[in-house]
Structure 1
């Protein structure tokens, strides 16, 4: 099976002229596309490069995007966003900070690659199908502390609403800070009160525009 084009090659292909298939890129990028049969070099000056039929098919098909690092199961040694309330103690320190930062950057790259306009300001399709993990990653990446067995903090949970999660934190100031973080991460947030206890909580859903 032929390997899919790299992200850089895919950008060159997607930017081709929609009618002629004329390509713009570095000599290295264009030569790599020619080698893979996705482009050809016109024999006449100025020797521009154009998409081959295979190149056109590649442009018309959705990019093959690997699952981001935040998607993998919570097996030993694999990163998982903290949703709060886990039975194990909250892991802190430089190593965890690096892991969370790397996961968040990976998610931003996934937004750039899969949102039609390349926006990183708005959640992508993966986040809409993994609401709890996506919201938790946004919070942890911004430095919020998840609840653990030995400390209070945020908890992210599913709700009956198809595209919304609930975020709770007994500290009102921390809860409002969580709302600001999620809004900056592209989520639509509203504050509500529990009918029985009156405790505040957030409803957050990925913004579409």
Structure 2
């Protein structure tokens, strides 16, 4: 279960600038929000603090962070922004209590928060290419871009596992995306390219299985 926010933390989140998510508070208060994944410290002077996508969702929820979703089974996956939201990478078991409409709203909010994070942290305020957080959370970032565009993640093995799957690769700056059939694979590549990634189709030498290799575009 997610630890409840203190009254002071709720007030800080509720008082954040509605447009930028800029926060004001003591260094200790802001650091506590950073540790919870609800805020980040801007890397450039004056090093102000802003709400993360998870922080924006907490604000929409009345100052309380959403419950953490179960960790997905992908090895090495760092989880969602602040560990509060996790885009579905494919293969995980989905909680039955969450309806499709609620999930769509959550994903849409997470994607809008990610675009705002790009605007606030990319050197030129660009939203058309991944930011530093995405480059250090490749699997989650690619999965969020796919899920936010309407692609369906694969279910657990043997349970309708016919959607996309995003997985780590030996390359430090790339992920592999698998999808059922050439059309679905091509659609995933087009979505990632539109979200600021470089994507190309390849074939695994041993299995002959086709996949998309994607990495965040830098310029």
SS state of the match for residue 112, structure 2? helix
Provide the TM-score with structure 2 as the length reference. 0.64
Q: Aligned pairs, how many?
A: 159
- Tell me if 1:168 matches 2:178: yes
- Tell me if 1:197 matches 2:197: no
Gaps of 5+ in 1: 11-58
Task: Tell me the residue number matched to 1:118.
Answer: 125
Task: Tell me the residue number matched to 1:62.
Answer: 47
| Residue in structure 1 matching 2:85, options 52, 65, 79 | 79
- 1:170 CA displacement: 2.2
- 1:134 CA displacement: 0.3
Aligned residues: CA RMSD: 3.1
Query: Hey, what's the Cα distance between the residues in 1 that align with 2:52 and 2:46?
Result: 18
Query: Hey, what's the Cα distance between the residues in 1 that align with 2:192 and 2:169?
Result: 17
Q: 1:89 touches 1:148 (CA, 8 Å); kept in 2? A: no
SS state of the match for residue 72, structure 1? helix
Distance 1:99 1:122, change over 3 A: same
Q: 2:52 touches 2:113 (CA, 8 Å); kept in 1? A: no
- Tell me if 1:186 matches 2:196: yes
Gaps of 5+ in 2: 1-11, 21-43, 55-79
Higher Rg of the two aligned structures: 1
Query: Hey, what's the Cα distance between the residues in 2 that align with 1:94 and 1:183?
Result: 26
